[in-house]
Structure 1
Amino acid sequence: MTLAPLGVVVVTYNAADVILDCLETLLGAAAADGAALRVVVVDNASTDGTPAVIRDWAAGRVPYVAPDDLPFAHLPVAKPLPLGSAAIPGGARCEVAPLTLIETGSNGGFAAGVNIGLAHLASDPGIERFWVLNPDSAVPAGTPAAFATRDPGPFSLMGGRVIYLDAPDKIQIDGGLLDRRTGVTHNSNQFCPPDVPPPDPAALDFITGASMVASRAFYEAVGPMSEDYFLYYEEVDWALRRGDLPLAYCPGGIVYHRAGSAIGSQAVNRPASPFSLYFIHRARMRFVRRFFPASLPLAFAFSLAKAGQLALKGYRREAGTLLLASLNRPPPAHVRIMLSDDAARRAIPEHIGKS
């Protein structure tokens, strides 16, 4: 079995409580598999000390203790680990190291962080595939080798099975489906047991950004992710620009995910936070406007129906937030307060100075 060199991009924002589970299991799994990884952590100006946590862990100053709910056996990683650093684009060029931390100094959103990591890894011509992985993920042995195996042939984006870490008997997503009438996305096989058959990749519309492998051919042909969504729909937009390169599915590419740990995305038995609702519905309408403008009336009708559903369940603040986002209005105060001034300039530039 021949394994392709695999670059990994992990974008962090206030991920101090989860990032070590990701890095420790990722590197432990790669060591068990014999997979050659080059990992870049891109920190979007965390305020909770995430970069310091990573440095202390890599240096061996803080021992790693696996969480009690980790649903697989973990191979400890020997410390210290060499930790490289690199300047963001425009700074001095640095060599690609096995583990690199890039501190952006600002929060430009998910896609902006991914693009910085991709640009850094792409400077190494030996890396054939780029794996975008959420920081609140845990990686079992077998997954790095599965994603690095040269089997699928030419592809654009490849995904695998993402399972809820706090409910390991339930799949979160096997790949994404898109309703072109409303812009609403759906998770293939969500809440199904992990032993269900994998999906046909030809039936999928996109690969989740929580665990997504891009081929170099796709990246060089299509370019980086669109950064104007700030959060959500970046991977859907990317997938729809893939041209003739097909999506691929890797049955052995299993990842466990603590859904919504950073921004309050919807999880098992929990509605999305107002912050998450604002950006997902703002992004949905922006996506529909870009790719399916004739569907805008139906997309807004969905917003009205969803807001009504939330209001009837007692989530009136969430319902109002959803409607403001769908109308591309400025975020309410309880959402705006969660954005630094710098992040707001990147996330909602059209609303700066408005209320």
Structure 2
Amino acid sequence: MTVLVAVVTFNSERLLADLVDGLRAGLDGLAWHLTVADNASKDGSVAAVRRLAPDATVVEMGRNAGYAAGINAAVAASPAHDAILVLNPDVRLAPGCVARLLEALREPGTGIAVPHIVDGAGELIYTLRREPSVLRTLGDAVLGARRAGRLGALGEVVADERLYARERFADWAEGSTMLISAECWQRCGPWDESFFLYSEETDFALRARDAGLGTRYVPAAHATHLEGDSRVSPGLWALLTLNKVRLFRKRHGRVRAGAYWAALLLREASRAALGKRPSRAATRELLSPARLRETPGPASVARW
């Protein structure tokens, strides 16, 4: 089987040497091809890819087109493949990771396989998620994500470490490391480019689940995610929050999305009252009808 490794870069030069080394270990023994879609990086990302991985395909987007658009462009530009490894530039694969994910893709009803992921300090990252709901958002607002996440009905984040000890299905998983079968991509792809950043992987995984192709968590496959800054950047947290509303509206309609918006507003406003800057930014955007109607892009992100 041939694995396409699809990576989107945006000023990622400092991460690429370790990324390529990790690919060689994580895909050892497998046939694979690297395709990098670059969203108009202003550093030396493109030159670094061509130096470090001369056989890779490089797609220069010519603009910051967003994460989903980059993934779609990488898949479209690549040679034939049996599975697609969607990978963030700041992920490091452990030896044998992808071979174990490939085995999981052969299990009935599986369209996406995801590994056990730790942060740079070796601590487990809670990557598994339950489908977003009004009740789970209220549970998060009242109890906090970690506490609510230990209760299946009340938390979106699966925050019980015991549930990361065995192979299982999840409604979706964070999108830094996802192996997608070619069948799943053909039936459910491409990714929805209107999200620009955040919720695109949620949308894809839920659509795959709706088609009978679930997301399987594989604890025997390991990776390290150095992580982005959505938790500390007010602008990115605001974008993440708005896209959650947009995704809910896409799946459930405007009436139910209104209740979901109110639950999110309660969560963010309560945290803003405690002085949390990301939640202040998210509250401000949730209260803006123009922002809720807007399809996010690089210009709107820059305004944050």
Which interval holds the TM-score relative to the shorter structure?
0.7 to 0.9
Query: Shift of the alpha carbon at 1:104?
Result: 1.0
Work out whether 1:48 is the aligned partner of 2:43: yes
TM-score, scaled relative to structure 1: 0.71
Residues 322 and 248 (structure 1 numbering): CA distance in 2 closer, same or farther, change over 3 Å? same
Of residues 252, 269, 272 in structure 2, which corresponds to 1:311? 272
Matched, 1:82 2:39: no
1:141-290 aligned within 5 A: 141-149=95-103, 151-165=106-120, 167-168=121-122, 170-181=123-134, 186-189=156-159, 192=161, 196-198=164-166, 200-201=168-169, 204-242=170-208, 243-260=211-228, 264-266=229-231, 272-290=232-250
Deviation at 1:273, TM superposition (A): 0.9
**2:8/2:71 contact within 8 Å kept:** yes
Partner of 2:62: 105
Aligned partners of 2:134 and 2:263 also within 8 Å: no
The residue aligned with 2:5 is 8
Aligned equivalents of 1:196 and 1:175: distance in 2? 9
Q: Structure 2 vs 1, CA of residues 278 and 306 (structure 1 numbering), >3 Å: closer, same or farther?
A: same
Distance in 1 between residues matched to 2:201 and 2:73, nearest whole Å:
15
SS where residue 12 of structure 2 aligns?
Answer: coil
* Larger Rg belongs to: 1
- In structure 1, the partner of 2:73 is 116
Shift of 1:113: 0.3
Is the alpha carbon distance of 1:39 and 1:6 closer, same or farther for their aligned partners in structure 2, counting shifts above 3 Å? same
Question: Cα distance, 1:130 vs. partner?
Answer: 0.5
Q: 1:286 to 1:182 in 2, by over 3 A?
A: farther
**TM alignment of 1:13-24, pairs within 5 A:** 13-24=10-21
Normalized per residue, the structure richer in helix is 2
Residue type at the aligned position of 1:10: V
Q: 1:18 to 1:329 in 2, by over 3 A?
A: farther
Change (3 A) 1:188 1:319: closer
Q: What is the deviation of 1:328? A: 5.2
What is the TM-score with the length of structure 2 in the denominator? 0.81
Question: For the aligned residues, what is the CA RMSD?
Answer: 2.8
| 1:297-308 → structure 2 map (5 Å cutoff) | 297-308=258-269
- The runs of 5 or more residues in structure 1 that have no matched partner are 59-80, 84-98, 267-271, 332-338
Alpha-carbon offset, residue 284 of structure 1? 0.6
Cα distance in 2, alignment partners of residues 319 and 249 from structure 1: 30
Distance 1:199 1:148, change over 3 A: closer
Deviation at 1:160, TM superposition (A): 1.6
Same amino acid, percent of matched pairs: 25
SS at match of 1:322: helix
Distance 2:77 2:69 in 1: 13
**Distance between the aligned counterparts of 2:157 and 2:17, measured in 1?**
27
State the distance in 2 between where 1:252 and 1:199 align. Answer: 8
Question: Where do 5+ consecutive residues of structure 2 fail to align?
Answer: 138-154
Contact 1:156 1:247 survives alignment (8 Å)? yes
List per-residue Cα deviations over 1:5-62 (Å, max 9, x = no partner): 21110111111222222121112332xx311111111111111221123334x2xxxx
Rounded to whole Å, the distance in 2 between the matches of 1:135 and 1:219 is 21
Cα distance between partner residues in 2 of 1:287 and 1:219: 19
Question: Is this contact kept in 2: 1:7–1:130, CA < 8 A?
Answer: yes
Alignment of 1:131 onto 2:85: yes
After TM superposition, the structure 1 stretch with the greater mean CA deviation from structure 2, 42-51 or 130-139, is 42-51
